[in-house]
Amino acid sequence: MDGAIDDAPHEIPPKETITEVSGLMDPKKKLWVKLEGSIVRWLFMSCALVSILTTVGILIILLYQGYGFFKEINLWEFLTGTRWTPILKPRSYGVLPLVSGTLIVTVIAASVALPVGLMTAIFLSEYAADRVRRVIKPILEILAGIPTVVYGYFALTFVTPLLQNVLDDLLIFNALSAGLVMGIMIIPMVSSLSEDAMISVPRNLREAAYALGATRYEVSLRVVVPAALSGIIASFIIALSRAIGETMLVTIAAGATPKMTLNPLESVQTMTAFIAQTSMGEQAVGSFEYNTIFAVGLLLFCMTLLMNLLGFWIVRRFREAY
């Protein structure tokens, strides 16, 4: 409907009729109307370009400040070093302890959220009656809307003491409870995206399977899940990238000790927690510390960007079209 209709109405009826009917095409106003139209067009386009500028701004600021960092610290040393002591002497800038901290929390979160989220999605899409679904979905939406400081509070003051009853070695700040709570936090992401994928699997595939004598769970696991697999995997990846980028929960509950460890009972520091904890202080700009948080930010940005792109790519590449 672009183009043709757009230009046509100016010529069709005689002028008097139109002014009479709507006043829109008053010849004196006509020029102004045209001008206004093209002004707003450019205005709206520049609004859309703001989003491009945001991305460009993020890239430039991360690369610029990161450059200040990598001028003094070898990139290889940064990526493979196993000691992260940017404040304590002797200073050392190996980022792996932060990466391992991030990974351990993410893995724990994933081991909760992926299975639970997937099964929730199957339940909602294949088993639940409409009435039940209408109750459960808003509850999960609330879960997704709760601010992450609240989850941090919950992990620190509820889950950690609870786990300490069972696990004697558990420190106050630890990767385990941060990871578990983060798992609960990202359940709604996995479940809603996976459910969307499952609901769009056409009905006749299910009915064909039922006609062959399959039970409901066989239909769910052998027909619906495989057919929706690309959407499900994409939901996993997007949820994981969210977990990697999550900040306040781990800043509150996981601690501030950059340590190369795979022990979830210990205190760790994630990349995001390092950025938050360091930027909270008012360090001088241009100081090396200031550049350090941008270097870690750059790494974080690249990791999440790659995962998001992978997620989108999987959805588009492997989408089953029916």
Partner 1 sequence: MNKDKFITGNINPNRRFRKIIGGCVYILFLLSTCVGIIGLGLLIFDVLKEGIPWINWQFLTDFPSRDPKEAGLLSALFGTIWLMFLTALFTVPIGVGAAIYLEEYAPKNLLTRVIEINVSNLAGVPSIVYGLLGMGIFVYRFGSDEMFLDRVLIAGALTLSLLVLPIVILASRESIRAVPDSYRQGAYAMGADKWQVIKGAVLPSAFSGILTGTILAMSRAIGEAAPVIAITALVYITYIPAHPFERFTVLPIQIFNWVARPQDDFRSLAAAGIIVLLVILLTMNAIAVFLRNKYQTRSEE
Binding of partner 1 at residue 187 (CB under 8 A)? Answer: yes
User: Under rule CB under 8 A, how many of the chain's residues touch partner 1?
Assistant: 107
Binding of partner 1 at residue 5 (CB under 8 A)? Answer: yes
Binding of partner 1 at residue 129 (CB under 8 A)? Answer: no
How many CA atoms, within 13 angstroms, populate the side-chain half-sphere of residue 253?
32
Distance CA 83, CA 73 (A): 13
Q: What is the nearest approach in angstroms of partner 1 to the Cβ of residue 293?
A: 7
Chain center to CA of 201 = 25
Inter-residue contact 110 to 243 (CB < 8 Å): yes
Element (H, E) at 55: helix 27-70
Binding of partner 1 at residue 111 (CB under 8 A)? Answer: no
Inter-residue contact 268 to 254 (CB < 8 Å): yes
**Helix (H, G, I), strand (E, B), or coil: what is residue 246?**
coil
What is the DSSP secondary structure assignment for residue 90, as one 8-state letter? S
Q: Which is nearer to partner 1, 80 or 215 (CB)?
A: 215
Q: What is the nearest approach in angstroms of partner 1 to the Cβ of residue 21?
A: 7
Q: Which is nearer to partner 1, 9 or 202 (CB)?
A: 9
Task: Tell the burial category of 304 from Cβ atoms under 10 Å away from its Cβ (0-12, 13-18, 19+).
Answer: middle
Q: What is the nearest approach in angstroms of partner 1 to the Cβ of residue 242?
A: 8
Binding of partner 1 at residue 275 (CB under 8 A)? Answer: yes
Binding mask 277-296 for partner 1 (x = CB under 8 A): --xxxx-xxx------xx--
| Among residues 81, 92, 107, 148, the one that binds partner 1 under rule CB under 8 A | 148
| Two structure tokens written together for 244 | 């990697």
Inter-residue contact 126 to 220 (CB < 8 Å): yes
Binding of partner 1 at residue 257 (CB under 8 A)? Answer: no
Which residues, 14 to 43, sit near partner 1 by CB under 8 A? 18, 21-22, 24-25, 33-34, 36-37, 40-41, 43
Binding mask 215-234 for partner 1 (x = CB under 8 A): xxxx--xx------------
Q: Which is nearer to partner 1, 147 or 202 (CB)?
A: 147
Inter-residue contact 96 to 78 (CB < 8 Å): no
